[in-house]
Amino acid sequence: MNIRKPHIALGQPRAFGCRGRSVALVAGLLVVLAGCVAPAPEHAGGQIHRHNWWNYYARGLWFMKEGRTGEAASDFRRSLGVERGARLRNSRDMWRARTYGLHFVEAYFPNRELGVCLYELGKYEEAERYLEISLGQEPSGRAKHYLNLARHKKMAGMRLPPPEIKVVSGDGFSYTRERGLTVKGEASGPGLISGLTVGGRAEFIELAAPAMPFERRLRLAAGTNTFRVVARDLLGRQTVRDVVRVADWQPPCFSVRGGAAKNGEWTVAGVCRDDFGVAEIKLDGKMVFSGEGGGIFEVPVELRVPAAGATLSAVDRAGNRLECRIDAAALAQVEAESYMLARAAAVRAGQSSGWSYMERVESWSCGLGRGGRGHAGFRAVMDTATAASGDRMRPALSLKACQKHTRVFSEDFFVDGTTSDGGGLASVTINGENMLPAEDKGSLRAYFARRLPLETGTNEFEIVATDLSGNRTSRAFTVVRALPEYLEERYRLSVGVPPLAPDAAGSVGTRVKHAMEAELAREPVRFRLLERDEGWDFVLREQGLSLSDLADPAAALRIGKMVPAEMLLMGRIFQEPKGVTVYLKAVETGNGEVVFASDVYSHDPDAGLEETVGGLVLKVQQGFPLITGEVLRCQGSRVTLNVGRLDGASEKSQFIVYESAESGGAEGGRVCRAGNSPVQVKIEKVQQNTSTARVIPSSADAIVKEGHYVYTR
């Protein structure tokens, strides 16, 4: 705390004349502009001249910095009125305490600081009592830190069971086709949960508790993902729980080795493969294969397909599905092509009798083979036949429902198709990645499907089918992944982060400001951050404000005249006897109203300040959660939304209004506009599950319809 000598000596109250009142008013105004901080007493050598609660509190802080803990504890008791000495007492912890007139003390926490002193003196139970009182009156990060320490000392030597972890969503081992996983549960234990890590990322915990719920959305990588949940209590014991997901985003593939027609139907020999196991195969809805025992990576099948064709459906263990139409006419064409290539090869080789190329291909193509040589023998025959035949025909390649240019809002794009070649396929690639397994090289026909991951913006793809003779056919297409308009950063609340007060914060204040801005810019972006690192000096100078003035929320009104921010995150640094407190207020520039306030405490600013500030920004973001809702009813300029207090909505929540997409869903919907401005709704009354909101501007009431969606600004 900044301590300075008072400009006006304090004595017994007396009546002021006109001149005295003028002097008092001018002095009061100067104090307001200086941040409304009460003058602190002189206490050189520990002496004070005025015996009010704020005098003892200031001297107690000075004693703590000097290491005179016992004397500091006595002064805090006097401030509270527990010990005699102060003519006036104040037993309530608060961020701003009024002393007299327009004078205030910033961060008045006598219960907390007494608790800290008692902890340092080894009186842990008494320390716990005062720290709990402090938290009950005004929560602060410093009180939580020392309460954890006091409880740890109390529990030292106790035999308590270790933490327990219960995962209620996302537990255990399983296969998934999702891109992400939500792990939700609770860690609990009598030793109080003080640390919790989910998937390698620590949860922000200030005060250890008997039970700590958690919920985190984790990104998956292709293949096996092992996420570890680690819970630690105040005694340092920890429990570990592993959550395992096998992420498989690609459907099975099916390759046709050959086929033969008999009695009006085709016998098709092929193989279905999947990197993580085939769960089932059906033909026209009838089960052909079931992998209930865990799935098989390679499933040879012999299918009886009517002349009209049939639909093959193959599903893997993650639920990815390949669905393809086995067309008898197309099979006949590729078989005829294969037959002609084999015959040409036989003629070139001068073979007219015996086990000719033609006869061998006919046999292998039906999947029969001789001597147990199987598909390897078939592929060898096809390699030789195509090389001898001089094949110049390019493979056939078709894609289902795939346009040359497509615009989507999803994070992946599904493509499936068919390719065939009578001389045998060598590869089928998407942007160079081969989808045809090496074991299926030489197949006459291949059915494939892929979920292609998309980057935001333009994604270009090329599918190339190549046969054994090197002939190739390609298909190129472009997929543009667009961000839904309502998610664009320009629709989020605009915020500014002025320099932190006071000037004495120096490098600590600069570090805190930069750490706040870095966290605010991290995806997903909650606010539209105005970056004005070089402009703040000019703004403050133009408005005649100092850093100390930023302690007063009214300063936001003046700053809002120059800065296009709807809200300012106004921070203040408190240099504690040990450590640093960062106190933050979210203030609306339109009316100067404080809509959110919180703080964090760093016991070791040199090592953990940035991480602690990250926790403070997280608390701000949690105070303004991103919510998606729907308009239930419209009554003039008032609407009823299906979001309420349980969803995180409050009387300060603002939403952007947008229409449903053509597909009927929320994704991709167009933002509603009144002229050039987006239509908004602001909650006026909130219930548990619903809320009543006002349309902004009110003239846009005819634009908002039942069934429209809303998303947090």
Q: Look at residue 335 in the predicted model and tell me its pLDDT.
A: 74
**3-class secondary structure, 78:** helix
Residues 642 and 666: their CA atoms lie apart, in Å, by 14
Q: What CA–CA distances, in Å, run from 442 to 199, 393, 421?
A: 44, 15, 9
> Which of 63, 26, 36, 34 shows the shortest CA–CA distance to 47?
63
- Is the Cβ–Cβ distance between 559 and 590 less than 8 Å? no
Q: Look at residue 341 in the predicted model and tell me its pLDDT.
A: 73
Within 8 A by CB and 6+ apart from 92, the residues are 137, 138
Tell me: cis bond preceding 41? Omega within 30 of 0 counts.
no
Within 8 A by CB and 6+ apart from 527, the residues are 492, 493, 494, 495, 520, 567, 624
Residues 139 and 597: their CA atoms lie apart, in Å, by 11
At residue 139's C-alpha, the angle toward residues 91 and 545, to 5°, is: 90
> Which domains can be identified in the chain, with CATH numbers?
18-155 (1.25.40.10), 164-247 (2.60.40.10), 253-481 (2.60.40.10), 487-621 (3.40.50.10610), 628-712 (2.40.10.410)
> Which of 463, 516, 456 shows the shortest CA–CA distance to 480?
456
Q: Look at residue 201 in the predicted model and tell me its pLDDT.
A: 93
Residues 332 and 349: their CA atoms lie apart, in Å, by 26
Query: What secondary structure, in 3-state letters, does 635-649 show?
Result: ECCEEEECCCHHHCC
Would you say the pTM of this structure is higher than 0.85?
no
Q: Which residues of the chain have pLDDT under 50?
A: 1-42, 44, 352-358, 360-361, 363-375
> What is the residue-wise DSSP string for 543-592?
TT--GGGGGSTTHHHHHTTTS--SEEEEEEEEE-SSSEEEEEEEEETTT-
> What is the residue-wise DSSP string for 350-392?
T--SSS-HHHHHHHHHTT--STT-HHHHHHHHHHHHHHHHT--
Residues 89 and 80: their CA atoms lie apart, in Å, by 6
Helix (H) or strand (E) holding 79: helix 69-80
Within 8 A by CB and 6+ apart from 6, the residues are 39, 40, 41
